[in-house]
Structure 1
Amino acid sequence: MQLSGLRYLLALDRERHFARAAAACHVTQPSLSAGIAALEQQLGRRLVERDRRFIGLTGEGRAILPWARQVVAAIDGLVQAAQAAPGPLTGELRLGAIPASMPAIGMFATELARLHPQLRLSISSHTSREIAARLAEFALDAGLTYVEHEPPSGVVRVPLYSERMLFVRRATGDAPAAIGWDEALAQPLCLLHQGMQNRRILDANLAAIGHAARPAATADSYVALLALVASGGFATIMPDSYAPLLPAWAQMIAFDVAMPASAIGLIVADRTPLGPMALAALAVGDRLRDR
């Protein structure tokens, strides 16, 4: 069985479009179609519903996806292990990160480059649930996410640091050292939407002290929230790890009502054996732990 046919099928499922799948595999569209047709002939089953455009995978095509992911990941791990044994690790480490963890990306990338200078790092932003799913599907090698609140299952985790929340608004003069939740929640707030774990943690902590946030605007990134704050009409609540990255106009105010800190860490899928990329990520995590 040709491994390329499995790669083409996975790309087609991911891209949902023949031309985009071919481009992702760095082949022509006729080559991709021929590879999938050969795979169908070998299995004796139709895997793709075809018309002039991609319609979807057949039941048989969807059924073999988990096995195709495992086969492709196992072969990639085998190749990486063989290449790394006599020399430096090469290739691409795919890291998924929740928005709250983005300030830690620089530390991770710097340490990875120090340990494995010939390794490329590919970073993508996802929700915590997407990271867990992509690790299970072999689409990511490692993730930066919350490791205590809604902890993902089937992973090896390395806690890296704890975050606390800051109230952020456009500078209006002297800022108080701290602000109470009553005053903060009375402001026109923009927050992450409830599909983001940072927001769910905030809501849970507020509920525990008898409060609730009712934001006037929501978004899925801190860049969008800061753009709203920059307008002068909104304030926001975000992790203190973002403090070094905030622009000069942003006023950062601590909360005078303590809330539990949230642990962010590195996770990889708990498999035997762990692949070279997962081991490389864990080595970085061990060096960065509580730095």
Structure 2
Amino acid sequence: MQTRLVEYFLALEREGHFARAAARCNVSQPTLSAGIVTLETQLGKRLIRRDRKYGGLTAEGEAILPWARQLVAAAEALGQAAETARGPLRGELRLGAIPAAMPAIGCLVAAMQARHPGLNVSIRASTSRQIERDLAAFELDAGLTYLDFEPPAHALSVPLYVERTMLVSAVDGVVVPDPLDWAGLAILPLCLLHQGMQNRRILDARLAERGLALRPLATADSYVALLGLVQQGRLCSIIPDSHATLLDGLSWARTHAMPQTDEGSRVGVIVSDSAPMGPLAQAVLGVAREMRLPPGFRIS
């Protein structure tokens, strides 16, 4: 069985469209369609429901999907292992990162490329849950995410820093009490990440412990969007303290200390704990263990 045929099958499952899947694989649509028919013939099972267009996977297609992902990932890792046995690590490193960890992604990528200059890096902003799913499906080589609240399953991890939060408002915007307590925080006009983001779920859990709840007037899936809302002056937001350096030089922004708490959230690198571990995952863990982040990141 040719691995390329399995790649066609996986591309079609991801894209849900024959033309897009063919483009993803850099082949013509007839070539992709013929390859999938060949795979079905070899297995003796119909894998794709089709009429005039893609209609999803059959039960047999669904059954082989995790094995197909594992086979392609193993073939890629096999090639990398052979290539790097006597030479530098090359290829594409696929990283997923939660929005809260984006300031650290530059440090990680710089450290990786300093150690392995032949690498290209692809970075995908994602939720913590999606990072777990993509690691399990061999769609990512590593992730940068929270380690403690809803800890990632079936993963090896290296902690990098501890995240705490701060409030940000516009200089001529919302009046924020000083000092700010939890009850005062709960009544501020806020814009926050939506509840699909773990950062928001952590924040909600801490308020719930105190019998309070946040009811934001706007939600988004990125801190850039939240800061754009704050800049207009009518809302304020809660962002990780690691983002403080990104606000340097912004005359419109003012930061405020959050209510007193000793709690922090560890953020780190995770890879799948499957064995054998691929060269890219090994390389990320090795670099993460030796990394020293700049002063803007709390170590404890």
Relative to the length of structure 1, the TM-score reads: 0.96
1:266 aligns with 2:269: yes
- Which residue of 2 is the match for residue 24 of structure 1? 24
Is the 1:171–1:250 Cα contact (8 Å) retained in structure 2? Answer: yes
- Which residue of 2 is the match for residue 60 of structure 1? 60
Is the 1:148–1:263 Cα contact (8 Å) retained in structure 2? Answer: yes
CA distance in 2, matches of 1:112, 1:142: 12
How many residue pairs match? The answer is: 291
Cα offsets for 1:73-113 (capped at 9, x unmatched) = 11100000001111110000100001111110110011001
What is the 5 A alignment of 1:117-266?
Answer: 117-172=117-172, 178-246=179-247, 247-266=250-269
Gaps of 5+ in 1: none
CA distance in 2, matches of 1:128, 1:289: 23
Identity within the alignment, %: 56
The Cα shift of 1:245 comes to: 1.0
CA distance in 2, matches of 1:25, 1:191: 38
- Which residue of 1 is the match for residue 284 of structure 2? 281
Give 1:46's aligned amino acid: R
Is the 1:5–1:36 Cα contact (8 Å) retained in structure 2? Answer: yes
Is the 2:172–2:233 Cα contact (8 Å) retained in structure 1? Answer: no
Is the 1:175–1:251 Cα contact (8 Å) retained in structure 2? Answer: no
CA distance in 1, matches of 2:55, 2:158: 41
Change in 2 beyond 3 A, CA 1:176/1:106? farther
- Which residue of 2 is the match for residue 100 of structure 1? 100
Give 2:23's aligned amino acid: A
CA distance in 2, matches of 1:276, 1:176: 51
The Cα shift of 1:207 comes to: 1.4
Secondary structure of the 1:134 match is helix
Relative to the length of structure 2, the TM-score reads: 0.93
The Cα shift of 1:178 comes to: 4.7
CA distance in 1, matches of 2:104, 2:269: 11
